[in-house]
Amino acid sequence: MEKDDVKEPFLLRATAAEQAGGSALSLSSSAALTVGDGDIPPISGFGDFVREFNVESKKLWYLAGPAIFTSLSQYSLGAVTQVFAGHISTLSLAAVSVENSVIAGFSFGIMLGMGSALETLCGQAFGAGKLSMLGVYLQRSWVILNATAIILCLLYVFAAQILAFIGQTRSISQAAGLFSIYMIPQLFAYALNFPTAKFLQAQSKIMAMAVISAAALVMHALFSWVTVAKLRWGMEGLAAVLNGSWWFIVVAQIAYILGGTCGESWSGFSWEAFHNLWSFVRLSLASAVMLCLEVWYFMALVLFAGYLKNAEVSVAALSICMNILGWAAMVAIGTNAAVSVRVSNELGANHPRTAKFSLAVAVISSTMIGIAISAVLLIFRERYPSFFTDDEAVRDMVRELTPMLALSIVINNVQPVLSGVAVGAGWQAVVAYINIGSYYFLGIPLGSVLGYKLDFGVTGIWSGMLMGTVIQSMIITWMICKTNWDKEATMAEERIRKWEGGSDSEDNTLN
Percent of the chain scoring above 90 in pLDDT: 17
214 burial via Cβ count (<10 Å: 0-12, 13-18, 19+): middle
Q: Are 347 and 486 in contact (CB under 8 A)?
A: no
The 10s digit of each residue's pLDDT in 291-317 is: 667 766 766 766 676 666 666 777 778
Look at 39 and 396; give whichever has higher pLDDT.
396
Predicted pLDDT at 434? 86
Predicted pLDDT at 481? 78
Dihedral sign, Cα of residue 140, residue 146, residue 150, residue 156: positive
Nearest to 492 by CA among 426, 414, 421: 426
The mean pLDDT of 83-109, rounded to a whole number, is 84
Place 156 in a pLDDT band, splitting at 50, 70 and 90. very high
Look at 381 and 283; give whichever has higher pLDDT.
381
Q: What is the DSSP letter of 289?
A: H
The 10s digit of each residue's pLDDT in 329-338 is: 777 777 777 7
Nearest to 424 by CA among 355, 339, 344, 483: 344
Look at 169 and 242; give whichever has higher pLDDT.
242
Least confident of 56-60, 99-103, 485-489: 485-489
Place 150 in a pLDDT band, splitting at 50, 70 and 90. very high
The mean pLDDT of 322-328, rounded to a whole number, is 78
| Rounded alpha-carbon distances, angstroms, from residue 120 to 376, 453, 466 | 35, 43, 28
Q: Are 77 and 213 in contact (CB under 8 A)?
A: no
DSSP string, 15-48: HHHHHHH-PPP-S-HHHHT-TTTTPPPPP-SHHH
| 90-129: b (≥16 Cβ within 10 Å) or e | bbbbbbbbbbbbbbbbbbbbbbbbbbbbbbbbbbbbbbbb
HSE of 176 in the Cβ direction (CA atoms, 13 Å)?
Answer: 35
Show the 3-state SS of 328-387.
HHHHHHHHHHHHHHHHHHHHHCCCHHHHHHHHHHHHHHHHHHHHHHHHHHHHCCCCHHHH
The 10s digit of each residue's pLDDT in 1-34 is: 433 443 333 333 333 333 333 333 332 333 333 4
Which residues, other chains included, contact 51 with Cβ-Cβ below 8 Å and sequence gap of 6+? Answer: none
Which residues, other chains included, contact 354 with Cβ-Cβ below 8 Å and sequence gap of 6+? Answer: 38, 39, 40, 56, 342, 346
Nearest to 287 by CA among 111, 142, 434, 116: 116
Place 152 in a pLDDT band, splitting at 50, 70 and 90. very high
268: left (phi over 0), alpha (psi -120 to 50) or beta: left
Least confident of 109-113, 276-280, 346-350, 507-511: 507-511
Asked if the model's pLDDT at residue 47 lies above 90, the reply is: no
Q: Where are the alpha helices (DSSP H) in 226-310?
A: 234-256, 277-305
Look at 391 and 494; give whichever has higher pLDDT.
391
DSSP string, 133-183: HHHHHHHHHHHHHHHHHHHHHHHHHTHHHHHHHTT--HHHHHHHHHHHHHT
The mean pLDDT of 488-497, rounded to a whole number, is 65
pTM over 0.85: no
> How far is 154 from 131, CA to CA, in rounded Å?
37
Predicted pLDDT at 213? 94
Nearest to 205 by CA among 341, 343, 14: 341
144: left (phi over 0), alpha (psi -120 to 50) or beta: alpha
- Interior CA angle at 144 toward 427 and 326, to 5°? 60
The average confidence (pLDDT) of the chain is: 78
Predicted pLDDT at 252? 96
Predicted pLDDT at 251? 96
Asked if the model's pLDDT at residue 189 lies above 90, the reply is: yes
Q: Are 280 and 141 in contact (CB under 8 A)?
A: yes
Which residues, other chains included, contact 61 with Cβ-Cβ below 8 Å and sequence gap of 6+? Answer: 338, 365
Asked if the model's pLDDT at residue 169 lies above 50, the reply is: yes
